[in-house]
Amino acid sequence: MTTRGYSDRINHAFAFAAKHHDRQVRKGTRLPYLTHPANVAVILSHYDQDERTIVAGILHDVIEDCVRDGFTRDMLEQRIGDKFGPDVLETVLAVTHRQVDEEGIELSSEERKDDYLARLAGASDGARWVCAADKIHNGSSILADLDRTLDPDTVWSRFNVGRLGTVRWYRRVYERLKELGFDTPIMDELHDVAERLEQYGK
């Protein structure tokens, strides 16, 4: 069942995300961070995704980015599970970069990316939709900023892995979803974003 427009559960998810992303801004900008999950929700709604997937899209960065102000990762997981249900929590966790592996060993930045891609194999379709929508908005934001600047290095310098590493990451996500058989209309948009980033990356 698809969800169009407003619902109390979606509104609750925005309120929850707004509380935890409060004072955070988008990398390299002054835009409130909440503009990102809001745009992810818009993208998912555009593709007629159900309410549960849209709620997970709104909450997808809370666990990864909001371990602060007395909230531990475990506490955030508990709160999301209690308020939005185990299915939403499972989807959020599937698209959350882990800091440590199952044995508690800390992962490097590159290992976190590899782990993220590996775990997509066991992720639900909803999680893969959120993954794609997340990358489409992030990648499109990079492209928009590149179009507005005379010095592309000011954009690429926001990312620890630089221009080539950033471009490569979007291609890797697209190829991984494709490899897993995620053959949905959103993949055309994700492919376009990856291609355009590669053109800037040359």
- Does position 41 have pLDDT exceeding 90, yes or no? yes
CA separation for the pair 29, 124 (Å, rounded): 32
87 lies in a domain? yes
82-133 pLDDT, tens digit per residue, is: 999 999 999 999 999 998 888 888 999 999 999 999 999 999 999 999 999 9
182 lies in a domain? yes
Average pLDDT, the chain: 93
155 lies in a domain? yes
48 lies in a domain? yes
189 lies in a domain? yes
How does residue 1 score in pLDDT terms, banded at 50, 70 and 90?
Answer: very low
24 lies in a domain? yes
Q: Is the dihedral of CA 42, 43, 45, 51 positive or negative?
A: negative
Strand partners, 25: 32
Q: Which domain holds residue 12?
A: 8-96+103-201
- The two structure tokens encoding residue 171: 């291609």
2 lies in a domain? no
Q: Which of 53, 31, 195 is nearest to 123 (CA)?
A: 53
Asked if residues 50 and 3 have their Cβ atoms less than 8 Å apart, the reply is yes
3 lies in a domain? no
Residue 75: CATH number of its domain: 1.10.3210.10
- Does position 29 have pLDDT exceeding 50, yes or no? yes
- The two structure tokens encoding residue 24: 């955070």
Domain count, the chain: 1
Q: Is the dihedral of CA 39, 40, 45, 46 positive or negative?
A: positive
DSSP tag of 155: H
54-77 pLDDT, tens digit per residue, is: 999 999 999 998 887 778 889 999
